[in-house]
Chains A and B, each alone.
Chain A
Amino acid sequence: MIRFLLGNFYLIALQAGLFFGFFMIARTFWLTLWGQAKNPQQFLPSMLYQPKQYQDEKLQAETKRLGVPVPRPGEFPPDLAWPLYTFRQAGIDKKAVRANLLAYHKRLWTWPVNTFFKRRYGKHRWPWWVLLFPVPVSVLSFLGGAFLVSWASYWVYWGLLTASWWLDHTVIAVLRGQLRAREGRRRKGKHTAAACMKCLHVTPWPAYACRTCGERHHDVMPSDLGTFFRKCGRCGTTFPTLPSRAAWHTRAVCKRAECQQELPDGTGAVRDIRVPIFGAVAAGKTRFLYSSLNSLQQDLDRARVKWEYLDEPSRKTAEDWISRMQADKVDKTQDGPATAISMRLREGTHADFIHLFDAAGEQFSNPGNWTLGYGNQETNAGSLRFLEDGQALAYVLDPFSVDSIREQAASRDPSLLSRVTIAGMDPEVSYTEVLTQLRGLGVPVESQRLAVIVSKADLLSGAGLAVPFDSGDIARWLASNGVHNVTMGAPREFREVRYFTVASLGVSIGRAHDPGVPLRWLLAAHGVKVPGGDALLAKPARRPVGASA
């Protein structure tokens, strides 16, 4: 046995060197990646690729690509979040381990090389190779074994990280693309584009502020900053990617730098339907808004569906107007900023946000209001921007502004006209005026639904006129009374048009002239589950707009 050992000393040294190589690579990993080096001159710890570096790198690349400094006004820099390990950190770690292992080997090989090959410790080197032959052979066998194992380990490690990088750039990149596409389809079908209740700005999704430090994240889709989760670059808080998930773990904030309004939980994840109401001065827009809202609320209460106003101004305004309307003390809407009433139906992920917009009729005739840009005003509430971002439109038509109908009513009840406030503008003119502006602004009205609401039906019925209930009958009735532009033009312009006759007072839910029916139809057409009412009218004729196949 001893003879075997003495005869094979170089093999034993080699075997010991192999295990020492394992120790070397393990030590290098530990001291490099976990930064435990007592002597940083010998082992440099791997540097962390910081979120700020990622941000700067992206900005520089984009500046170079576009040839102009970015971000430009109105744009956002990349979010401050920790990038994926494979994005840069894996490469930095590989380099650091390689450099430290190389330095370790240099230190280890210095004495043997100087002694056995360079004559640095004596005049002659032949004694080592003649008299002490087993020593250099053993030492070099030992070091050779260590070299073999440590570098083999490094290349295994390099291969692993490179494979992870490749996997991230192929399979996981496809997965991220799929997640984005799926989210996109969901968002389109569910109409989740978020509206700010303060400035009425609509974006695909708002900015999401970290709940710990408040850092704004403008794009939480899966990217280099995380596939399923994202880590805030300022405080390290982790939250899910995708607006549909991030909305429940962060605070939603309006993206506009001038606004920065905090938005309700779930903004950008839940259905968000905006219904602008337009029509001539004194057509009954405000009465319709609050009576339809009141009808919807009663309906929701009856079905025990939880609802609430999304903000305090909405609650105050709506409660005030509903009480005034019930007391029949509705004044003309003041010529000022548009009113937005925002409500949430249901809670959590099944919630639906509804925004109803009402502006004084004069606003539609003021050309300056059609400048939908933000300009230098603090908010755009005074403009008619809400019309551009609505998904469905409600056009209120005063039947008394139609000559033929007015004359019929007057012939049956001569005192009626003195008791009615009649819209000052021809209904065809007010309709065409708004539609022309919308078309000019590129608003895709062909994908929208229009509810043509004939107001004051109770007064017409009171005068003894036969007011139709069915949508087709109402259209024919209007056409026969000379309202041709609306009845003939609207079906060609819009995806779907339905006609309603409504009364604002003394109407039971689900009964004839219920003002809630047009609103329920518009909401149901966009996938909002509204209880009760006229099931036939509330049911969409086709698949909701934008729903995936």
Chain B
Amino acid sequence: MIEGGWAYVYAAYAVTGLALAGAALVVALRARHWAKQARKLDTTANRPNPGPASNP
């Protein structure tokens, strides 16, 4: 039986945790960014038209 395998086990779990958490973070940040941009677009689209500018 292989002795002292715990270092390899912890290394594998650490790599997996970092990779999956990193992927989740990148996806969450991207989703947040485009949701914000889309909300901004909706706000602009719903703003009432000020009409033609009048000369003073």
- Pairing of A with B: no
Residues of A within 8 A of B (CB): none
